[in-house]
Each structure stands twice: as structure tokens, then as C-alpha cells.
Amino acid sequence: MALTHLNARGEAHMVDVGDKPESQREASASGVILMQPATLALLADGGLPKGDVLATARIAGIQAAKRTHELIPLCHSLALSKVTVDFHLDSARSSVEVTATCRLNGRTGVEMEALTAVSIACLTLYDMCKAVDKSMEIGEIRLNSKTGGKSGDYQRLVTGTPIVTGECAAGEVSLGPRCDTESPCIRVKCLAELRERLGVGELSVPLASLARADVAGLKKVLKERDPRFARLDEGRVMCAVNQVMAADATPITDEDEVAFFPPVTGG
């Protein structure tokens, strides 16, 4: 596959799209800005000194999409038919996810416009919040989908980190020594995708280490041992005590088997 923005001599040039047929095109991109939990709380409550952060960032993203051709050297100026910029506040990750969708009936794709909208919306979020938080981090800016045009449709495959096949040997979680057989223990199992993501299938936890002898208390101890266990608090993760579905308040005693697993997908 060749780079279309280089001519036969390898010099940058603008592609002549005059002969391409017009088609309905749409592109969607997203990005994430990580911030301190306190910053996110201020943002959600509208307590930041520069005022309505999200409304401002939304307008900035829309403006940026329209001006993409001024910023990216070989982009055509386009009469976009629609630009939307949306925000999702994620308190678990302490971040704001920005998504932008651009639409056009025309001869060239609109992915650069969507990516520019996301980038500038993220930068505007930074500008609006920097008075209280300079450690914010912008990342994961990427194209999620694109439809229309000669090169065909594109859809980003499953988001998130790739899943490693096979056993959990790679990236084992350090859990310290297993409890000896004399003292009361809880047997913890992580199943399926959760096992692979955490890198641990089975472990033992001394009952005495739990401040509260229930599932919530066990999760707390696991998270203190390794921050990766924060995943156990995600809404999707289910729990069973002695093979019966359980909740945070379910009590745990000596020799109990506690399993954590993702939603089921059999049949």
C-alpha cells in the first residue's frame, strides 16, 4: 500500500479528489484525559474558575473540526454536514473520555476532522482545568470507525489491552507468601478473562487479614496487595462464595471458596 500524500518523486502533495465520486462519509474518534479525582469532581460540579468546562471544550472541538485544513498541511477544506463532540466522565478511572463524530457528503474522508476535534477538545479541557491540576495527561487519541469512500469501512477492533492467550504465567501478580495450612484461609479464584487480565488464577488469603469478614473486606485486602485488583470493583465483575452468587456484603468464613469472574457467555 502506498502513501497517497507523496507523489512519484516522494514529495508531499495534495491528492486531487476532483474525479472521486461524492459519497456519504462519517468518522468517529475518541481520546482520554486523565486527571486527579478532585479535578474531575470540580469539573462535574462546575466549580472550576474558568466556568463551564465541557460546553467550552465542545465548542472548541467543533470549531477545530471545521478548521482542520488550516492545521494539517495536506487536508482539504470540507463543508462538514455535522460535527458532534461528547464527553463521558469516568470516576473509576478519574478521566474524561472525549468522542467526536464528523459527517460529510463529499469526496474525501473526515477522520482527520474527527481526530482534530478530539485533540483540541482535550487540549481545551486541559486549559480549562490547569489552574487546579497540572498533572493531567492526554492520551489514547484514535479513530474508532470510518464509513464511506473508496477505501471501505473501518471499525476499530475490541478496545482495551490485547488479551494474552493461554496460562497466567506471564505477568504474575506478586501476592507474597501463601498462608500456611495451620491458619484459617480463604481460597480465591479468578476465572476466564479476569484470570488472564490479572495474571492470577488461584490464591489464598489469611482470614485474619480481613478487617471485615465479607466479600468487600476481601476485595480491600486484595487491592492493598496489588492495585491491579481494582478491576474487581468494575461493574461487570461477578462474585460467587462457595459456588453461589454473592455480593459485597456476603459473609466469608474459613475455607470458603470465593470466585471472581466476568459476565457469562455460554450457549
Partner 1 sequence: MIRVQEAPFDSGAEQQAMLAGRKSIGAVVSFTGLVRDFNERPEVQALTLEHYPGMTESALADIVEQAESRWSLDGVSVIHRIGRLAPGDPIVLVVVASAHRRAAFEACEFIMDYLKTRAPFWKKEHASDGDYWVAERESDYRDAHRWGT
Rule CB under 8 A: is residue 267 a binding residue for partner 1?
A: yes
Residues 224, 229, 235, 237: what is their CA dihedral angle, to the nearest 10 degrees? -130
Using CB under 8 A, count the residues that bind partner 1.
Answer: 22
Residue 60 or 190 with smaller CB distance to partner 1: 190
Which residues, 126 to 165, sit near partner 1 by CB under 8 A? 157-158, 162-163, 165
Strand partners, 244: 241
Rule CB under 8 A: is residue 259 a binding residue for partner 1?
A: yes
Residue 7 or 151 with smaller CB distance to partner 1: 151
Contact residues for 152 (Cβ-Cβ < 8 A; gap 6+): none
> Least Å distance between CB 257 and partner 1?
9
Rule CB under 8 A: is residue 264 a binding residue for partner 1?
A: yes
Distance CA 206, CA 221 (A): 10
**Helix residue ranges, H only, 86-161:** 111-129
- Considering only residues 123, 179, 216, 240, which one is a binding residue for partner 1 as defined by CB under 8 A? 240
Buried residues in 86-125 as b, exposed as e (16+ CB within 10 A): ebeeeeeeebbbbbbbbbbebbbbbbbbbbbbbbbbbbbb
Rule CB under 8 A: is residue 211 a binding residue for partner 1?
A: no
Query: Which SS3 state, helix, strand or coil, does residue 92 take?
Result: coil
Rule CB under 8 A: is residue 192 a binding residue for partner 1?
A: yes
> Least Å distance between CB 127 and partner 1?
36
> Least Å distance between CB 244 and partner 1?
8
List the catalytic residue out of 86, 127, 133, 226: 127
Distance CA 202, CA 223 (A): 15
Phi, then psi, of 78 in degrees rounded to 5: -125, 145
> Least Å distance between CB 92 and partner 1?
18
Rule CB under 8 A: is residue 176 a binding residue for partner 1?
A: no
Rule CB under 8 A: is residue 262 a binding residue for partner 1?
A: yes
Distance CA 237, CA 247 (A): 11
Establish whether 214 is a catalytic residue.
no
Q: Could you list the active site residues?
A: 127
Chain positions contacting partner 1, by CB under 8 A: 157-158, 162-163, 165, 189, 191-193, 196, 236, 240, 243-244, 259, 261-267
